[in-house]
Amino acid sequence: MIKAIIFDWNGVIADSLKLDHQLFLKDVKSLKLTVPKSLEFYRDLFNSNMYENLLRIGFPKEMLIEDKNYKEVYMKNMNKTRIFLGMKAVLKILHKKYKIALITSNYDITVNTFNKKYGIDKFFDLILTADTHKYKTEKVRMFLERFSLKKDEVIFIGDTLADIKVCKKSGLKIIAVTWGYHDKSRLKKADPDFIANKPKDILTILNNLR
């Protein structure tokens, strides 16, 4: 029986792809990296661990560990992100029935500011960001340990191939959502356990698992 749910943030709760891509291009320019500037190239970075992929294309490790400039610019442009329609209602319902965690590659200050802005901060029992650890597999382990949960008692909700790979490695089931960074056709290639085409589908899937 499912007792807990792990949500990704970017692309699942926060509609942030456009802003994230803009900030990526800003960093690429400042670092003078010769990489494609297309949105498709940026999406491809989420086929596997984003941290490792940014290192691979030339981002300095020190910058990724504590990117103060990214945080400052993100905060100034927070108005360019919004919560996906229907997600607040879904979180409100699920919080009454399950332990809810938020596991993301973004940072404490950006995630917490956004969550408070949209009044969803109260729905999470635990939030683990890039300030906690760079690898989602480790953050999943930390959540399971914190609440003494078994793998078959937890389901992950993500939007990328990287999320699906994390779940397969961690032994978790995943609901892949199609409104995020990767589209349905790409997600299906990684064989997720379930696919949600709109936020309300998450409720339907979970109700069928009970």
| Confidence at residue 26, expressed as pLDDT on a 0 to 100 scale | 92
Helices vs. strands in the chain: H and E counts, helices first: 11, 8
Whether residues 44 and 139 share a domain: the answer is no
pLDDT attached to residue 135: 86
> Phi/psi class of residue 11: alpha, beta or left (left: φ > 0; alpha: ψ in -120 to 50)?
left
Tell me the residue range of the domain where 73 lies.
17-79
Q: What is the mean pLDDT of the chain?
A: 95
The reply to whether 11 and 21 lie within a common domain is: no
- Please say whether the beta carbons of 126 and 104 come within 8 A: no
How far is the C-alpha of 163 from the C-alpha of 140, rounded, in Å?
11
Q: Please report, for the domain that includes residue 111, its CATH number.
A: 3.40.50.1000
- Judge whether residue 65 has pLDDT over 80: no
> Looking at 58-62, 91-95, 170-174, which range is the least confident one?
58-62
Looking at the structure, do residues 9 and 36 belong to the same domain, yes or no?
A: no
Q: Smallest Cα–Cα separation from 82: which of 112, 128, 117?
A: 117
Last residue of a domain, one of 79, 99, 119: 79
